Amino acid sequence: MRKYLQPYFFISVAGLLAFAPVSFMLRALKNDIIALEYPINYFISQSVRQGEIPYWFNTWGMGFPLQSNLTWGIFSTPQMLFSSLFDYNIYVLHIEFMFFILLAGWGMFHLLQKYLVKDQKIAQLLAICYMLSGFMTGSTQWLLYITAAAFIPLVISSLLQLLHSPTSRHAFQFAVFYTLMFTSVYAAFNIITTYSLAIFLIIYFIQKKNDAQTNWFVCRKLLLAGTFTLLLCSPCLYYSTELLRNMARGSAIADNTNFFNSNYLHPASLSNLLLPFSSVRINLPNTEGTMLNTYMGLFVLLLLPAAIYKTVKEKNKPAVWILAAGLLFLFISFGHFTPLRNALNSIPGFSYFRNPAIFRLYFILSMIYFIALSFRSVTFENMFTLKTNYAGKIVSLTTLSLLGICGIVLLVNFKHIHDIPTDSFAGFVKNINFSQTLFINAFLQLIILTTWLILVKTRKIKLAGLVLTADLIINTLLCTPFFSVSSYSLRQVNHILKSSAGFPIQNTRISQVATTYTDGKMNKWNNVNVFNKQVSSNDSYRGPLTLKHSYSFPTDSTEALTFFNNPLVFADGDTAANALKLILQKPNHIRVNVILEKASSVTLIQNYYPGWKAFYNKKIADIIKTGKPGMTIKVPEGEGVIDFVYERKSVWISALLVHLIIISFLLWRGYYFIKGKRLELLPFHSDSNGLIH
């Protein structure tokens, strides 16, 4: 067991060290992960702990359903587990983030060692290359990107296991891992991954066309896996489609070319394949540094030319297919620089999402798989025998070339050495420029490559492997202050986004509820009303995640100012101010006492969505469409109680069933996995007759 766990432990240590500011809780994560994921996860956790089903997010854009995979939803088993098992706070967010970072490394190692490469050390180092790649470092503010990188290797691994050993159990296992991915990641990754797997299967069966009997058996199990997958994903898929029809961004966005082509991978940014630190200050139009980092580590870069030569010489067709796929993904990630990304819009699903640079994740995946397949039968020690085999000689030439490039970059930017900010760490982060990042990174890579070459030539291969791991850790650490963490401690963030448990009654008019907070450093914090648990009409960091009818008139119009200058629940006309009293305010249930001298219309300022019902004195009341935001009902004169209730039993029952099935299966598989590993350690075995010796 210890031998089995050792590489996973090594991968974990590398990940924890590389993201030390996060893993050791030294600095808080920043940007979208704080403005988006954190408040939503906090809300879900608060709802669960207050006995509420967290499928209506009442403080987000005046109400938004959390029952899909288009945003964040209750169908994600990992999200529900983290939000339910813990009293969610900024510390839990950091733990969750690191879990998915490490899961990406663990999943990749399992896949590589089991199906692609025989040498454990090669698999281990390639897994770290993936876990600490530029995609991971650049995507730290989007947890849904990190979860995609974590689940994709597990999905691929389960598919390969099904193809190698087509059983009903493996068919269901694939369905479970696909469902985990489908419900937990940014929807674009589901689309890309699903099409990629379908193309892979077509090529797989074309290559095995001579074995019709086996293919038919495998196809039957694949159909079974597809059936299981459809059953597990169908509730989330159904409610995602429903939400798509009601969202402001529920239609294709390809016609908005500037927006659609934004956040692409510029070809010039490929320099950070060697110098990843340069991505933090690359200034290119309509994209940003978070989308430009494609680093895969010096290990991949050193082996890539040798792998290409080896593949061509040995006519390794699977490796050729993977290399071709990787280049295709790379060209797609260039966005409008090639016609490929726009061509994909003819395929259903691709015209609904932007950020072409997300395809670079699949480029990185392909390059790692390509290296693994090319050196499938080579040991880590023999891989770097620089003088005795052709691959080693190519690696040696590649090393010298990379050293030469680093030396040239160092000399060209040497004049900027005196301008590097050294007065404080904050000054270093804020004031460093592109040329200075090139100088610093070239200097570091020069030292690492030189050290690696000396160790290889002196046959200290284990130390050379550690140097290649250190390269990934150092470059990740170098980028985290720019991409990942802020200057705030976790305690400071907790103080700024403080909140009491439960759901208090809101007495403030919704136009007066602040959605942002500007601190003493003049930094703006978005969605603070989520933590205050108050509904607001003020603009916040919603992006496209609003329902079509959230704002039925311009927000700065006189009509809008008048409408939103009301309490959460109000009556029309000259009704007395004390005629309505809010006595219960939960995300799914609003209760109001009313004493009206005459019949009036009463409006709740929450977006209408299927599932909302209104009751007056426990009798159903019709919700009237007024053309304005909110839900309005007619109330007769006299005293009574109004209840606005959001309830969709089909949503939470189906989500609960999916969670129970997935958790039960994973626990069952975990039990038999541990049991199997223990049996392997026992000092006896059974012969062909079943007798134990």
The per-residue DSSP string of 301-312 comes to HHHHHHHHHHHH
Q: What's the CA gap between 297 and 131, in Å, rounded? A: 10
Res 450 pLDDT > 90: yes
pLDDT tens digits, one per residue of 211-226: 777 788 889 999 999 9
Residue in the structure block whose two tokens are 């969505």: 609
CA–CA–CA angle 547, 493, 83 (5° rounding): 55
Q: How would residue 679 be classed by pLDDT, with cut points 50, 70 and 90?
A: low
Q: What is the pLDDT of residue 686?
A: 45
**Position 693 confidence tier, pLDDT thresholds 50, 70, 90:** very low
In contact, 102 and 264? CB cutoff 8 Å: no
Supply the pLDDT for residue 682: 54
Average pLDDT, the chain: 89
Q: Rounded to an integer, what distance in angstroms lies between the CA atom of residue 659 and that of residue 540?
A: 32
Which of 334-338, 497-501, 564-568 is predicted with the least confidence, judged by mean pLDDT?
497-501
* Least reliable range by pLDDT among 52-66, 273-287, 378-392: 378-392
Instruction: Between 499 and 39, name the one with better pLDDT.
Output: 39
Whether residue 20 contacts residue 61, with contact meaning beta carbons closer than 8 Å, is answered with no
> Is 70 exceeded by the pLDDT of residue 681?
no
Domain range 560-647, CATH class: mainly beta
Residue 613 has pLDDT above 90, yes or no: yes
Return the closest-CA partner of residue 226 out of 265, 274, 174, 181: 174
Question: Which of 243-257, 512-526, 652-666 has maximum average pLDDT?
Answer: 652-666
Report residue 692's pLDDT band, with 50, 70 and 90 as the boundaries: very low
Residue type, 322: I
The pLDDT, as a whole number, for residue 629 is 84
Tell me the pLDDT tens digit for each residue of 302-323: 999 999 999 999 899 999 999 9
What pLDDT is stored for residue 353 in this prediction?
87
**pLDDT at 674 (0 to 100):** 77
Q: Which residue has tokens 């009997």?
A: 213
pLDDT digits (tens, 9 = 90+) for 272-305: 999 999 999 998 999 998 999 999 999 999 999 9
The pLDDT confidence band at residue 684, using thresholds 50, 70 and 90, is: very low
Kindly list the distances between the CA atom of residue 102 and the CA atoms of 97, 297, 336, 381, 433, in Å, as whole numbers in the listed order: 9, 17, 34, 26, 31
* pLDDT surpassing 50 at residue 690: no
Tokens linked to 196: 């990629």
Placement of tokens 């075995």 in the chain = 685
Place of tokens 């240590």: 13
Q: Which sequence spans correspond to the domains of the chain?
A: 560-647
- Using CA atoms, how far residue 685 sits from 114, 674, 693, in Å, is 23, 18, 6
pLDDT at 614 over 90: yes
581 vs 625: which has the higher pLDDT: 581
For 398, the token pair is: 């590649």
Q: Is the per-residue pLDDT at 133 higher than 90? A: yes
Is the Cβ–Cβ distance between 433 and 442 less than 8 Å? no
- Is residue 481 pLDDT above 50, yes or no? yes
Grouping H, G, I as helix, E, B as strand and the rest as coil, residue 603 is: strand
Distance CA(320)–CA(316), nearest Å, equals: 6
Identify the pLDDT of residue 20.
96
Running DSSP on this structure, what letter comes out for residue 574? T
pLDDT on residue 392: 80
> Has residue 43 got a pLDDT over 80?
yes
Q: Cα dist. 599→125, 203, 254, 285, 633 in Å? A: 73, 69, 49, 58, 11
